[in-house]
Amino acid sequence: MFALNRRRPGGPAPAAASGAPMRRDPAPSRWDYRYQRLMLTPLFRIGLRYGLPLVLIGGMAALWLANPANRALVTDRIDAAREMIHSRPEFTVSALEIIGAQPALHQAIEALVDVEFPVSSFQLDLDALRAAISEFTAVAAVAVRVRPGGTLEIAVTERVPVAVWRYIDGLRLIDNDGVMTGMILSRADRADLPLIAGDGAKEVILEALLLFRTAEPVFDRVRGLVRMGERRWDMVLDRDQRILLPSDDPVAALERVIALHEAQDLLSRDITIVDMRDSARPTIRLTEPAINIMRNVRETGIRATRD
């Protein structure tokens, strides 16, 4: 029988056989374990792969740029490269073309641009130029661009005047929106446009234009519209005649006057005022000669009755 070598509890382990190699513990060390755990973290791997090289490159660049001579060298190289690009022929603007502007507006835009050609397109602030031209009251819309071939093109859409507004400082041209598009010295300069006058007239220009269209049968006799108290219109005709229109629905009141004129030749008679302010009771005012004639007829009739 063979004797069994048993390890006593708490006793030392049996000694290894003489000359037998020691086996290496397969478990990683503490630092190796932590490194492996970090390498399993995606953010750590990205930082190690990309962040560390960037930090090293940035640090080297910062050290190199800390020298003033190196900074001046970089600045000079950048300026030279920018100047070389800006001076290329394809970026050179050599002419100005203004489209759609009347002579007065054309001259005003030329004075505003005030650029010595040729100039690099990089030196032109097109947005600022567009905003400045839009400030002109005569301009409804504007487009600014540099055309191929080196031409600065300014395409202007002017406001179209529809009436002449007589104000305390002169005669103004206004469009459908009541915006002033320019000024004229004499009514004869734009005799083709109807005339309006009075405070607040331009704010209701659309109503005024509708009244002018309603008065088309007698338009050759119409001298203009006057805004009274900023609430209603008086239509002025030749022969010192006036049609006093109400503040509510003046177009319908004017249509009644035109219908009376076409039926009974009302406006060709000796009257000075047709008062339509009270739609239930329109009245007329005769001229002085007509009043005298009516007075004489009345007196003649009274005397004949007495006789």
Return the pLDDT at 303.
64
62 vs 299, residue with greater confidence: 62
The amino acid that residue 139 corresponds to is V
Q: Residues 105, 209: one domain?
A: no
Return the pLDDT at 39.
79
Return the pLDDT at 172.
92
Return the pLDDT at 134.
92
Q: Residues 126, 234: one domain?
A: no
Give the H/E segment covering residue 37. helix 30-39
Domain's final residue, options 158, 178, 203: 158
Residue 243 within any structural domain of the chain: yes
Q: Residues 237, 152: one domain?
A: no
Q: Residues 241, 286: one domain?
A: yes
Return the pLDDT at 19.
56
For the chain, give the longest Cα–Cα distance. 186
Q: Residues 243, 261: one domain?
A: yes
Return the pLDDT at 175.
92
Return the pLDDT at 72.
86
Q: How confident is the model at residue 118 (pLDDT cuts 50, 70, 90)?
A: confident
Mean pLDDT within 176-196: 91
- Does 205 score more than 60 pLDDT? yes
12 vs 168, residue with greater confidence: 168
Cβ neighbours of residue 103 closer than 8 Å, sequence gap 6 or more: none
Cβ(38)–Cβ(44) below 8 Å: yes
Q: Helix or strand or coil: residue 16? A: coil
Return the pLDDT at 104.
83
Per DSSP, helices labelled H in 186-271 are 205-214, 250-264
Closest CA to 184 of 146, 138, 229, 224: 138
Return the pLDDT at 307.
61
207 vs 138, residue with greater confidence: 207
**Which CATH number belongs to the domain containing residue 119 in this structure?**
3.10.20.310
Residue 29 within any structural domain of the chain: no
Q: Helix or strand or coil: residue 136? A: coil
Domain's final residue, options 117, 140, 158: 158
Return the pLDDT at 259.
94
Number of domains in the chain: 2
Spatial separation of the C-alpha atoms in residues 166 and 173, rounded to whole Å? 9
Q: Residues 191, 239: one domain?
A: yes
Residue 105 within any structural domain of the chain: yes
Task: Look up residue 184 and give its two tokens.
Answer: 């004229």
**Which CATH number belongs to the domain containing residue 249 in this structure?**
3.40.50.11690
- Does 2 score more than 50 pLDDT? no
Q: Which range of residues forms the domain containing residue 204?
A: 163-294
Residue 23 within any structural domain of the chain: no
Tell me which of 15-19, 114-118, 173-177 is least confident.
15-19
pLDDT mean across residues, the chain: 84
Return the pLDDT at 31.
81
Q: Residues 191, 288: one domain?
A: yes
Return the pLDDT at 6.
47
38-75 pLDDT, tens per residue? Answer: 878 888 888 888 888 898 898 898 888 888 888 888 88
Residue 102 within any structural domain of the chain: yes
- Cα dihedral value 123, 126, 131, 133, nearest 10: 90
88-116 pLDDT, tens per residue? Answer: 777 788 889 999 888 888 999 999 988 88
Residue 244 within any structural domain of the chain: yes
Residue 236 within any structural domain of the chain: yes
Spatial separation of the C-alpha atoms in residues 149 and 126, rounded to whole Å? 17
Residue 261 within any structural domain of the chain: yes
Q: Residues 176, 151: one domain?
A: no
Spatial separation of the C-alpha atoms in residues 276 and 228, rounded to whole Å? 14
Spatial separation of the C-alpha atoms in residues 197 and 172, rounded to whole Å? 10
